[in-house]
Amino acid sequence: MKKRTKRFALDIIHLVGELPKTTVGRAIGGQLVRSGTSVGVNYRAACRGKSKADFIAKLGIVEEEADESCYWLELLIEGALAEKQRAELLLKEASELTAIIVASRKTAGSVK
């Protein structure tokens, strides 16, 4: 997952680098870079959690950031601001990462 979330961050950075240099492109791009790179860094932090509760809490942040990335990618797609196929692949990845983290939080919460 560490490699996967880092790859996601790098792919987001490259996509945002190709967005139009307009007010909207810069605004959405900035938000997407923040949320997309936050997924990996917060996952790494979760892996270093000091307790089970800390791990679960940090995974919650990962979940929120991955879901937020979905939102910004949806705006790029629906607003025709990014190459559709590429943005859709990243949206699929963001959705999968969100689902994996949700499942991980549930599993971690049920382990005694």
CATH numbers and ranges of domains, the chain? 2-110 (1.20.1440.60)
CA–CA distance, 13 with 45 (Å, rounded to integer) = 20
75 Cβ contact list (under 8 Å, min separation 6): 28, 81
For the stretch 63-87, pLDDT in tens is 999 999 999 999 999 999 999 999 9
Tokens of 13: 């950075």
3-class DSSP assignment, residue 48: coil
If one counts every other C-beta atom within 10 angstroms of the C-beta of residue 79, the result is 11
The contacts of residue 39 (CB under 8 Å, 6+ apart) are 5, 8, 9, 62, 65, 66, 69, 94, 97
Q: If pLDDT is split at 50, 70 and 90, which confidence band does 109 have?
A: confident
pLDDT in tens, 30-43: 999 999 999 999 99
**Stretch (H or E) spanning 83:** none
pLDDT band at 110; cut points 50, 70, 90: confident
